[in-house]
Amino acid sequence: MIEFLQQHAFLLFGAGYVLAHLLGLGMALHAILNGRTPQGTVAWLMALIAMPALAIPFYLFFGSPRFWGYIRARRAGDSRLTPVVEELIANARGMDVLPEQTRQFMRVSSALARMPFSRGNAAELLIDGEATFDAICAAIAGAEHYVLVQFYIIHDDGLGRRFRDVLLERARAGVRVHLLYDEVGCWALPRAYLEQLREAGVEVSGFTSIGRRRSRFRINFRNHRKVVVVDGRVAFLGGHNVGDEYLGLDPKLGHWRDTHVALRGPVVHAVQLAFLEDWYWSTERIPQLDWQPRMAAEPGVNTLVLPSGPADELDTFAMYILEAINAARHRLWIVSPYFVPDEGVIYALQLAAL
């Protein structure tokens, strides 16, 4: 065998070289047809043609703009959630009292979200980690029926143990608790932390994009959502994960500034729906939840939940940002920890400033 390889090494090398370039060309065509941005498409195109042997493995893991396993699971879950969606749409309040310019923006945004704006909501801005987790823990402590929890990062530190303890107390009191964590974001979370929750009756599941036939090679697709829903009456979402650094207690990171928002009213059901899509992907189960419409304030605030991710047919959130900029008439405030606008956003901002 060794002698055969030595005698035909040049031929085998040539065949491998040709095969790698053919595969590279095929994947380059895939990148052209499926790329989300011109910059990303050109980068993959150059790498796959010039260095196919090196680029092909990276493209398999990181190149696809679509998470097809998640898309199929979401579609299956959507079919089971159709009655819920129809009821949410039926309970949406009309927008006929709003100015035409506002109605146009809301119609486009609703189409992107696949969900209508709802009225009669109350929104409270939580300006730092202390305010956020004081409010979240107080709401969970008062839960009577169920708690839905989803975080990208959970640490086994002071805040993490405080958060765990309030979940344990409610689970032991008979409240249904569902915890969804990201397996990459929580790589350092001890198994004992999760096992203690499971032993108390908490349903725990990790969001993974690898190790399953329908999602192989998709380690780059992570779930960064930070969501808590209590009894279908209050929802929390925003930028805070569960860790002492989000309270400004990590001396290496110093003061941490992030924002969460507490929502009450019909919009909470839209947050529940977004959680259920991710929960179904991870567990293929849909728990029974409260979908009874509740008005938190009258007239309240108009609110829309806009979930976005690799299952979207369109680049949903980018399109929403452009529509929001174009709809501005008097002022435009932008708050973001990661501000790397593409050409479309830059042009929209320039036009808005004229």
- The fold of the 68-311 domain, in CATH, is Endonuclease; Chain A (3.30.870)
Residue 87 scores a pLDDT above 90: no
53 pLDDT band, cuts 50/70/90, is: confident
DSSP of 153-208, one letter per residue?
-B-SSHHHHHHHHHHHHHHHTT-EEEEEEETTTTTTS-HHHHHHHHHTT-EEEEE-
User: What does the pLDDT look like over 141-178, one tens digit per residue?
Assistant: 999 999 999 999 999 999 999 999 999 999 999 999 99
pTM above 0.85, yes or no: no
Cα(230)–Cα(232) distance, integer angstroms: 5
pLDDT attached to residue 216: 46
Q: What is the distance between the terminal CA atoms of the chain, rounded to a whole angstrom?
A: 73
Q: Residue 155 and residue 85: Cα distance in Å, rounded?
A: 34
Please tell me which residue, 40 or 333, carries the higher pLDDT value: 333
Determine which of 17-21, 25-29, 184-188, 337-341 has the lowest per-residue pLDDT on average. 17-21
User: What is the average pLDDT across 16-21?
Assistant: 72
What is the C-alpha separation between 211 and 18, in angstroms, rounded? 31
pLDDT at 314: 74
270: left (phi over 0), alpha (psi -120 to 50) or beta: alpha
Q: What is the DSSP track for 95-153? A: -TTS-HHHHHHHHHHHHHHTS--EEEEEEEEE-SHHHHHHHHHHHHHT-SSEEEEEES-
At a CB cut-off of 8 Å and minimum separation 6, what does 209 contact? 67, 69, 70, 215, 218, 219, 220, 221, 222
* Per-domain residue ranges of the chain: 2-62, 68-311, 314-354
pLDDT value for 96 = 47
Q: What percent of the chain has pLDDT over 70?
A: 76
Mean pLDDT computed over 256-265: 93
Between CA 150 and CA 262 the distance in angstroms is 15
How far apart are the C-alpha atoms of 18 and 26, rounded to whole Å?
12
Are the CB atoms for 59 and 28 separated by under 8 Å?
no
Distance, in Å, from the CA atom of 271 to the CA atom of 289, rounded to the nearest integer, reads: 12
